[in-house]
Structure 1
Amino acid sequence: MLTALQLNASASDGGAARAAVRVHEGLSLEGPVFGWTSRFQAASGPASGLGVCVGSPLQRSAIWRRLHPRLTQWRKRHWRTNNPALHSLAWPDTGLGAELTEAHSHGDFELLNLHWLGDSTLSIEEIGRLPCPVLWTLHDQWPFSGAEHYAPLPGSGSDLAALERFTSGYEQETSPVLERRCDLNRWTWQRKQRSWRQPMTLICPSQWMADCVQRSALMSGWPCHVIPNPLNLEQWKPVEPLLARRLLDLPLEAPLVLFGAMGGTADPRKGSDLLERALVSLAARSEGQPKQPHLVIFGQERSALQQSFGLQVHCLGHLHDAVSLRLAYSAADVMVVPSRLDNLPNTATEAMACGTPVVAFRTGGLPEIVNDGISGRLADPFEPEDLAQCIASVVFQPEKQRALEQQARQQAENRWHPKRIAALYASAYDEALERSA
């Protein structure tokens, strides 16, 4: 039996951590049929689950753990940017690279599967020195970008080529005015170019991400597989809607529109401002309807949207466990994912596994989740009026809604079953081992 080590910055925090743990759990359960099993290692978070190990490198002292983030902040001291996305320098070395090299030499694992690393898991240079076969599951654009985890969001009249600097290798002439004094994106990208001489095998959860890879100056032509994230369909399955509403103290009769995101309405990439405008339009469309829709939000304690439109709002706060999330999805008539830019958001796949139709913009990896008119609706990017129309077409047409619910669950079973995903990962692992031999 061969072992793949999954490496992620956290064992629990963030969508990438949840997706990485699901890959690990799916391989642990279904992988042995294909000759593979899995271990999971993270720098932080609770070590819950079989084969999950959490902790800093053994040789990393308490002093160095405190000093490392301060060095990162010192390196960013002159840096300014208009891009609100997270930026990671992955500098300097953490010591984990040497520990992984030793573990591989002792036969602890045959292959390393990187996930989301952030600033303090491995440095760029440590990744380049790893002697073992390496695959990388891309949960965002950081691996082929500079320091930014997502390219800047396009605005009216923006030049996409200037925003997507990863396509041209972060040339100086594409540097935004605010970053010209200290272009950390260019510095970070150049370190990747120098350090990553051998192509790694890439796993993209969406075809959209794979297309970005092929347009990138750094990783174009590298081996690449499109494999979505798995879902435990016994854990994520429908709950009787009235029961779910009673348990969450939500209205029993009103149509419920659900929205959720880490940080709630704070992240512009998640499109809460577009949702706000769409809901104003939805409220107007609701006049004359026998039942007025309500908005349900999870991911924050109090909604910044409450005074912005004519719908009643219910805030569920931060839902950290699968049971609460499953109840929220099952209680809703529709899940809205108004992202401007997203890879394969967990909220959309989880909702569909719970039999809840998803409404989203036709952008990023979302068209690979939602079959328009079959398992949900896709609106034109980024048109709030069209988004409102798509929401209305679900919540005000009960027969159509029931058909969408059935197809949403069926699609989850067909596309994201752990056994199917484990088989695809095992095939990619076999290929990577053959290439490294």
Structure 2
Amino acid sequence: MRIFALNLSDSIGGAAKAAYRIHQAVRAAGVNSSLIVNRKSLSDPNILGPKTLLKVLFDKFRSGVGVLMTRALSSQKTDYHSVAIFPTWWAQKFSRSDVDVIHLHWINGEMMSISDLGEIQKPLVWTLHDMWAFSGAEHYSRNSRWKEGYTQTNRPEDEAGFDLNRWTWLRKQGAWKKPIQIVTPSKWLADCVRSSALMHGWPVEVIPNPIDVEKWTPLDKNIARKKLGLPQGVPLILFGAIGGAADPRKGFDLMQSALKELSKQEGISELVIFGQSAPDQPIDLGFPIHYLGHLSNELDMQLAYSAADVLVAPSTQEAFGQTASEAHACACPVVAFEDTGLADVIEHQKTGYLAKASNVQDLATGISWVLRSVSQSNQLNLAARACAVEKFSYPVVAQQYKSIYSKVLNSSKN
């Protein structure tokens, strides 16, 4: 079986990481998969990027124009939007190829237009990494238009000017006449698809994002702390600040409030933040803070997870949460909210703690519970590692994707 998987990049962003890991997993399981990207940085020969400098520059130009167009038309300047307006030749290329199944991932950044997707004549699988596919131009929606349909009467009052989201949604509605096999990494995102006005009734399967558990393994805690310059013998709370306060979805404000609450009742703990360097104006969170900066390689991330006693992932909207599955693979328990895709990663009070939705007090309770539990035994750590191996390892996830590929291929022949 020959598969073409598409993603904008092979390494930049969470969707790229997931797409590449899925590609690696299915290849290891015997599937002839090629990952096609517009932005290639890895040396893997099975990743196909632009063949000429002119194509690289042209793709960047298209993407840049798309961003400028979106910014000019949208009144929501802080949220990421994609209009997917510029046509390409992907549909024609795929039709002429001998590929069996096209596997779409994050195809934004003007990699493919909305109309392109509707013209592909090959069997399709589309793994969603956010809400864009069934929303308007936004990648995560803060209102219910994706459920109701983008009408002229349900636009949020804080938006003005041209209704970019309605225009984009209507183009999807007009172009995508035939249901596509959707895969989501979590039940939360699958429920969103099923509840959406655009994709209601489309086939949906939940398959978690995989992780190479042979590579992502627990390291000795004391050695990890020494390597990162972190203190020994003190409980360490790990937090990923990628997006930080600039992205409301990441829950930084809720994390701040929970830590301040925790500082009133807990003994000595310290906070470790990765994805951000120390700011000029230090933030008072009630704990000593260690900034690791941007960790550019997987070994540094592995060290951070191994050094920590708990990872806190307070996102209020999250398709899956690969930092949580990576932490589990490194035997680090995780605390998160129960109403996001992270609930598919964490087993409540077995591999971590799932706090009530956006509940600061319960988030603080969860952090305290995990710190107390890991100080008494290593059961949480062992369970977290076992969870990653049983649910997210390459062989487990690859078999699920092989079944999906066979399903859509057989359906296309009937």
> Structure 1 length as normaliser, TM-score?
0.90
- Match of residue 139 from structure 2: 149
- Match of residue 42 from structure 2: 47
* C-alpha contact 1:4 1:37 (8 A) present in aligned 2: yes
Query: Kindly tell me: are residues 76 and 293 of structure 1, through their superposed partners in 2, closer, same or farther at Cα, counting changes over 3 Å?
Result: closer
Q: Work out the number of aligned pairs and report it.
A: 413
* C-alpha contact 1:361 1:387 (8 A) present in aligned 2: yes
Match of 2:72 among 70, 77, 80: 77
Query: Kindly tell me: are residues 57 and 115 of structure 1, through their superposed partners in 2, closer, same or farther at Cα, counting changes over 3 Å?
Result: farther
AA matched with 1:146: G
* C-alpha contact 1:264 1:298 (8 A) present in aligned 2: no
1:207 aligns with 2:207: no
AA matched with 1:46: S
In 1, the alpha carbon distance for the partners of 2:260 and 2:58 equals 52
Match of 1:216 among 170, 173, 196: 196
AA matched with 2:9: S
In 2, the alpha carbon distance for the partners of 1:411 and 1:249 equals 29
- Match of residue 158 from structure 1: none
Cα offset for 1:67? Answer: 5.6
Cα offset for 1:220? Answer: 1.1
In 2, the alpha carbon distance for the partners of 1:401 and 1:89 equals 51
Cα offset for 1:48? Answer: 2.7
In 1, the alpha carbon distance for the partners of 2:313 and 2:63 equals 36
Match of 2:175 among 180, 189, 195: 195
* C-alpha contact 2:73 2:164 (8 A) present in aligned 1: no
Query: Kindly tell me: are residues 431 and 400 of structure 1, through their superposed partners in 2, closer, same or farther at Cα, counting changes over 3 Å?
Result: farther
Unaligned regions of 5+ residues in structure 1, if any? 153-162
In 2, the alpha carbon distance for the partners of 1:424 and 1:430 equals 10
Cα offset for 1:17? Answer: 0.6
AA matched with 1:90: A
Amino-acid identity (%): 38
1:430 aligns with 2:386: no
Cα offset for 1:260? Answer: 0.7
* C-alpha contact 1:91 1:123 (8 A) present in aligned 2: yes
Unaligned regions of 5+ residues in structure 2, if any? none
* C-alpha contact 2:271 2:289 (8 A) present in aligned 1: yes
Alignment of 1:93-112 (within 5 A): 93=87, 95-98=88-91, 101-107=92-98, 109-112=99-102
AA matched with 2:311: M
AA matched with 1:273: D
* C-alpha contact 2:66 2:84 (8 A) present in aligned 1: no
User: Secondary structure in 1 aligned to 2:227?
Assistant: helix
In 2, the alpha carbon distance for the partners of 1:207 and 1:182 equals 33
1:256 aligns with 2:236: yes
- CA-to-partner distance for each residue in 1:135-192, whole Å, 9 max, x for gaps? 100100101111010111xxxxxxxxxx121111211111123435311101001111
AA matched with 1:106: S
Alignment of 1:220-235 (within 5 A): 220-235=200-215
Query: Kindly tell me: are residues 359 and 61 of structure 1, through their superposed partners in 2, closer, same or farther at Cα, counting changes over 3 Å?
Result: closer
User: Secondary structure in 1 aligned to 2:170?
Assistant: helix
- CA-to-partner distance for each residue in 1:42-99, whole Å, 9 max, x for gaps? 11140332411222799858467536633552465242127x4311001122x2425x
Cα offset for 1:118? Answer: 1.7
- Match of residue 417 from structure 1: 393
* C-alpha contact 2:10 2:17 (8 A) present in aligned 1: yes
* C-alpha contact 1:360 1:377 (8 A) present in aligned 2: yes
Query: Kindly tell me: are residues 74 and 116 of structure 1, through their superposed partners in 2, closer, same or farther at Cα, counting changes over 3 Å?
Result: closer
Query: Kindly tell me: are residues 58 and 217 of structure 1, through their superposed partners in 2, closer, same or farther at Cα, counting changes over 3 Å?
Result: farther
Query: Kindly tell me: are residues 5 and 71 of structure 1, through their superposed partners in 2, closer, same or farther at Cα, counting changes over 3 Å?
Result: closer
- Match of residue 156 from structure 1: none
- CA-to-partner distance for each residue in 1:258-277, whole Å, 9 max, x for gaps? 00142344321111111111
- Match of residue 337 from structure 1: 313
1:175 aligns with 2:148: no
Query: Kindly tell me: are residues 59 and 350 of structure 1, through their superposed partners in 2, closer, same or farther at Cα, counting changes over 3 Å?
Result: same
Cα offset for 1:119? Answer: 2.8
Match of 2:251 among 266, 271, 295: 271
Cα offset for 1:373? Answer: 0.8
* C-alpha contact 2:148 2:196 (8 A) present in aligned 1: yes
> Structure 2 length as normaliser, TM-score?
0.94
- CA-to-partner distance for each residue in 1:189-214, whole Å, 9 max, x for gaps? 11111111111110111111111111
* C-alpha contact 1:111 1:133 (8 A) present in aligned 2: yes
